[in-house]
Structure 1
Amino acid sequence: MTDNSQWSRRTFLRTAAVGGALAVPGVLAACSSTQPGTGSTKENTLDKIKKQGYITIGFAGEQPYGFKQGNDLVGEAPTLHKEIFTALGVKELRGVLTDFDALIPGLTANRFDVVSAGMAITPERCKQVIFSEPEFVGATALMVKKGNPKGLTDLKSAAAKKANIGVLTAAVEKQYATAAGVSSGSIKDFAKQQDGLDALVAGRIDAFALTDISLHWLAKINAGKPVEVTPSFKPELNGQPQSSAGGAVFRPTDKSLRDAFNKELKKITSDPAKYESLIGKYGFGKQNVPPASLTTAQLCKG
């Protein structure tokens, strides 16, 4: 993908209490060493994680981006990030499960050192944190009932046919649907991906809008359910086509860590075969490798 489209990813799920995070040994100790009034760590984070031998990551439990499988951290971001941090001399990732809207606050409050959740690189977030270079790109799609009875192809067709569209709570797909002309009364919010699929199967909605990566994975883990995913498309906001681009997230004070991360990330994204060998099992292929022309600086400008 080498066009000049404006890139974004869906915004995050509902805010939840920090008390929902997993308890991780060592996190409280790491939080105690901060600069007064800033929340930034006194110690260089790159040096700190090398010395202690592990890094604490925030993840959101969203498949296939970052989730737990038994006691293991799996998914696109933890897998990719483990490869990178191992190359930096840090072999262990310790996860803190956090709802999406609490990830950036948790990062800036030093509850973890990096966000590993496939987070979208958007101008709004770039004002609060710093991102790695893009680690994946994608597009938008619709999950519909088997056979696509309403013949939906994108959100504009959904508006024309007065279809009921499901979106994740606080997700950017709601903006996309509204911009395409879907009425507010025809947009239904769901807290979880599985809730959207279940509502579709039950006939409460006609389609579920999300990233193509997420929907194909959702269909895979619900094999046998009477659903299918439409070909991907690029919705528009203010006349600009929208696609996905996500990366790792760091505190603004951790530029040295971000820069070291980017150096190793480039080695992977410059080798599509290696990229796919690492995270292909989560539905990420060569088509999701970010083009060299796409930069975080561009994405932060919008």
Structure 2
Amino acid sequence: DVKVSIMAGANQHEFLKELGVKENQIETSDSISSNIAAVSSGRVDATVMTEATLREAVESADQSKVEEAKPFTQPEIGGESVMSYGAAVFRKEDNELREAYNAELKKLIDSGKILEIYEEFGFGEDNLPDDVTTEDRCGQ
């Protein structure tokens, strides 16, 4: 059986189970480097995480032992594509900081500057999130 390592608490755990991966095929780790080490050592066959995180982890790993799966297609569950989103986290009492962050992020998105930044790091328009909101994601 194929074994997959994921970050403890990651939504990929539910995705994998929905896709038919058995619990005994899923190993959880407490760090990105632990997931990559599990693949490098052969303890597991693969790891899954957000693309930006994965790309950085693979670039800093022993390239002779790991590689990014390309091309990669987001899995479908119940007829819908599922995706993990990177996000920023703020303390609940830091409303002003969160609102300032969101306002600046909106400016980057609306101006198209966010795509320029993505492209600097090897990502493209297909990596931009759809019109998903925090409320959409947190409601799941």
TM-score range, shorter chain: 0.7 to 0.9
Change (3 A) 1:234 1:253: same
> Retained in 2: the 8 A contact 1:176–1:236?
no
Which residue does the alignment assign to 1:249? 89
- Equivalent of residue 11 in structure 2, options 159, 163, 172: 172
Q: Which amino acid aligns with 1:297?
A: E
More helix by share: 2
**Paired residues of 1:169 and 1:189 also in contact (CA < 8 A):** yes
Q: 1:197 to 1:301 in 2, by over 3 A?
A: closer
Aligned length: 139
What is the CA–CA distance in structure 2 between the aligned matches of 1:197 and 1:247, rounded to whole Å?
21
- Which of residues 44, 48, 51 in structure 2 aligns to 1:205? 44
Higher RCO, 1 vs 2 (CA within 8 Å, ≥6 residues apart): 1
| Map of 1:94 onto structure 2 | none
1:298 paired with 2:139, answer no
Distance 1:177 1:289, change over 3 A: closer
| SS of structure 1 residue aligned to 2:34 | helix
Contact kept, 8 Å, 1:236 with 1:242, in 2: the verdict is: yes
Which residue in the other structure is 1:183 paired with?
Answer: 22
Of 112, 116, 126, 1:287 maps to: 126
- Greater radius of gyration (CA): 1
Identity %: 29
Asked if structure 1 preserves the Cα contact closer than 8 Å seen for 2:11 and 2:84, the reply is no
- TM-score (normalizing by structure 2): 0.74
TM (normalized to structure 1)? Answer: 0.39
| Amino acid in the other structure paired with 1:191 | D
CA shift for structure 1 position 197: 2.1
Partners in 1 of 2:33 and 2:89 — Cα distance?
26
Describe how 1:28-39 pairs up with structure 2 within 5 A. none
Say if 1:167 and 1:174, in contact at 8 Å, map to a contact too. Answer: yes
**2:55 aligned counterpart, secondary structure:** helix
Deviations 1:119-177, CA, capped at 9 Å, x for gaps:
xxxxxxxxxxxxxxxxxxxxxxxxxxxxxxxxxxxxxxxxxxx3111112222222222
In the alignment, does 2:6 pair up with 1:163?
Answer: no
**Change beyond 3 A, Cα 1:266–1:186:** same
Q: Does the 8 A contact of 1:167 with 1:189 survive in 2? A: yes
* Corresponding position of 2:106: 266
